[in-house]
Amino acid sequence: MKLVAQKVATLSRQCQKQLPRATTTYQSQRNATNLTRPAVEADAKSRSLAYQLRRDWKVGDVYAPHDMSPAEMRKWAKKKSPDKDVFDILAVDPLSLYKNVSVMTDFVSETGRIRPRSETGLRPVNQRKIAKAIRRAIALGIMPSAYKHPMLIKSEKDRKTVAH
């Protein structure tokens, strides 16, 4: 990281030295950029390098040149949360579904744990609401806390026997 940061800093310093001062007319700006094209390109490269660095490098990290490639950097990109999820598309409030056990069981594992957002694909707001609805259903005794509802297990067995 230090090596890359130093290269970026030196490139930007070199670019600043080579770039002309601000000019007043459009024609003179156009001529100035044509004269110092390599400097402008070097500045653009240094900026793109800075934007590509998505990984937080720590002191003592060992890396290969391939680690700085755009393909490798994409692996470290932060994933955006979805803009819309199932509840937004259907315009349904997850908190109002606490009585609907069949919907709630889709968001609970076999052992009774609430599935994480990475598995459910929900927005953070709706993930919190569905978690609250699940806890509410368990507290009211509508939904079992450690296993699937017996009616759902029976319907799954029926589906499996029909499929075979």
Name the more confident of 96 and 4: 96
Mean of pLDDT over the chain: 75
Chain segment 108-120, per-residue pLDDT in tens: 988 788 999 989 9
Provide the pLDDT for residue 51: 62
Query: CA-CA distance, 155 to 161, in Å (whole number)?
Result: 10
Within the chain, all domains assigned CATH 4.10.640.10 are found at 86-153
Chain segment 114-164, per-residue pLDDT in tens: 999 989 989 999 999 999 999 999 999 998 887 666 677 777 778 777 766
- Whether this prediction's pTM lies above 0.85 is answered by no
Name the token pair of 36: 């110092």
Considering the four listed CATH numbers 3.40.50.2300, 4.10.640.10, 3.40.430.10, 2.60.40.650, the one that applies to the domain covering 86-153 is 4.10.640.10
CB distance 49 to 73 below 8 Å: no
Chain segment 23-43, per-residue pLDDT in tens: 445 555 555 555 567 777 777
Q: Which helix (H) or strand (E) holds 7?
A: helix 2-18
pLDDT above 60: residue 96? yes
